[in-house]
Amino acid sequence: MSAPRRDEGPGASEDDSGRLARRLGTGDAVVIGLGSMIGAGVFAAFGPAARAAGAGLLIGLAVAAVIAYCNAVASAQLAAVYPVSGGTYVHGRERLGPWWGFAAGWGFVVGKTASCAAMALTFASYAVPGPWWAQRAAAAAAVVALAALNYRGVTRTALATRVLVATSLTALAAVVIAIAVGGGGSPANLDGWGQGGGYGVLQSAGLLFFAFAGYARIATLGEEVRDPRRVIPRAISIALLITVAVYLVVGVAALLAAGPDRLASSAAPLTTAVEAAGAAALAPVVRAGAALAALGALLSLIAGIGRTTLAMARNRDLPHWLAAVHPRHRVPHHAEIAVAVAVGALVATADLRGVIGFSSFGVLVYYAIANASAFTQPARDRRRPRALNLLGAAGCLVLIVTLPWQSVLAGTAMFAIGLAGRKLVLARRPRPA
């Protein structure tokens, strides 16, 4: 199985008129990667992770980072050979077969749909510190408003990405500074590394993996960066390193200020940390930063899911009516409406920890298949040793089975529904003569 290869250098083809311009350097790619990672996830994931592992969530953070790196390397290697939309849905079909591609695409769609619900709930938790019903109403309103924007073809630009990165980093810096100068932190809050044992640490890693979602965005830039074979791996490493450093500093600060028990019981853990440090005056800055980051992530996610759904519908792996493109706005409007309805249902019925776990389940399956696909590539297409693909796939599977049992059960049920549905559709589809 193979796809038309794209040479990485300029002038590789007699006709470059259909190519995107190679304008991005290492710095640009790093900023795009940071914009995909440092977002609303970090404002939400420390609470569930603290519930699973206490202060051991810091170890879980390191585990999640290693697996994220393996996954990003695999995605970069595949994107260099298959520079088309669809990500591992396409890569799995090409390297492993249609069923694996479908499983990856299904995992992405259901996992990222849950991510949308998590972003909507995160927005509401920080923006509306009122009763639960008001938060649910605000989350649902955000989904409807941003789905309407996407319906009209509004997307995040490079400038918007930089603004959102700056907003998120400003809010995270406010957390760290408030705790450092507030004097409310206590080293005793870092005790309890053994809470939950090794299982708890791995569960926290699976939940914190949610906060790294989007890192492989760099791997899709192969046609837009200069010298992609050098720039993409370097940008992935730099962006991940910066993100891990930021998350580690924020995690330590939050634990010092509030302790794992208070973080575990909070839907807005970083606001809780700032208030516990005696710097409540800065809480509005944190709330505003988290709310804006969540809205930006939600806008981007709805667009991304809609386009993967479009690709699957075109191959009839999902109902073909989802492949419709609006004649004026040129967006997959049926797919985006379906996504908005599904997210609205999750917002109305699920809690934040549940949708984070469910999201991690689907996305970890997606990346396990990405690693397996990269493992099958021949030596001429490889960028890193196969051992990284094995580590990435094994790590994804381990994190999947250590997620909260409710997330594992719900995720398994959703995959069973998807695979059974595809089998039924194929059985009823007329065979070619």
> pLDDT-based confidence at 7, cuts 50/70/90?
very low
Backbone phi, then psi, for 225, in 5-degree steps? -110, 155
Quick: pLDDT tens for 199-216. 999 999 999 998 887 766
CB 232 within 8 A of CB 29: yes
Residue 397 has pLDDT above 70, yes or no: yes
**Which pLDDT value is given to residue 184?**
66
**What's the whole-number mean pLDDT along residues 403-412?**
94
For tokens 């051992």, name the residue: 387
**Which pLDDT value is given to residue 153?**
63
CB 159 within 8 A of CB 302: no
Task: Please state, in angstroms and rounded to a whole number, the distance separating the CA atoms of residues 187 and 213.
Answer: 30
**What's the whole-number mean pLDDT along residues 386-397?**
96
Determine which of 41-45, 341-345, 416-420 has the lowest per-residue pLDDT on average.
Answer: 41-45
Residue 430 has pLDDT above 80, yes or no: no
Q: Find, among 337, 379, 104, the residue nearest to 216 by Cα.
A: 104
Quick: pLDDT tens for 57-107. 999 999 999 999 899 889 888 877 876 667 788 889 999 999 999 999 899
Q: Which domains does the chain have, with CATH numbers?
A: 26-425 (1.20.1740.10)
- Rounded percentage of the chain residues whose pLDDT exceeds 70: 86
Contacts of 145 (CB under 8 A, 6+ apart): none
Most confident segment among 14-18, 186-190, 203-207, 308-312: 203-207
Residue 190 has pLDDT above 70, yes or no: yes
What average pLDDT does the chain have?
84
Quick: pLDDT tens for 254-307. 999 999 999 999 988 999 999 988 888 888 989 998 898 888 788 777 877 877
Q: How many CB atoms lie within 10 A of CB 348?
A: 12
Residue 22 has pLDDT above 70, yes or no: no
**What's the whole-number mean pLDDT along residues 186-197?**
78
**Which pLDDT value is given to residue 402?**
95
Residue 312 has pLDDT above 50, yes or no: yes
Give residue 102's identity as a one-letter amino acid code.
F
DSSP collapsed to 3 states, the chain: CCCCCCCCCCCCCCCCCCCCCCCECHHHHHHHHHHHHCCCHHHHHHHHHHHHHHHHHHHHHHHHHHHHHHHHHHHHHHHHHCCCCCCHHHHHHHHCCHHHHHHHHHHHHHHHHHHHHHHHHHHHHHHCCCCHHHHHHHHHHHHHHHHHHHHCCCCCCHHHHHHHHHHHHHHHHHHHHHHHHHCCCCHHHHCCCCCCHHHHHHHHHHHHHHHHCCHHHHHHHCCCECCHHHHHHHHHHHHHHHHHHHHHHHHHHHHHHHHHHHHHCCCCHHHHHHHHCCCHHHHHHHHHHHHHHHHHHHHHHHHHHHHHHHHHHHCCCCCHHHHCCCCCCCCCHHHHHHHHHHHHHHHHHCCHHHHHHHHHHHHHHHHHHHHHHHHCCCHHHCCCCHHHHHHHHHHHHHHHHCCCHHHHHHHHHHHHHHHHHHHHHHHHCCCCC
**Which pLDDT value is given to residue 15?**
42
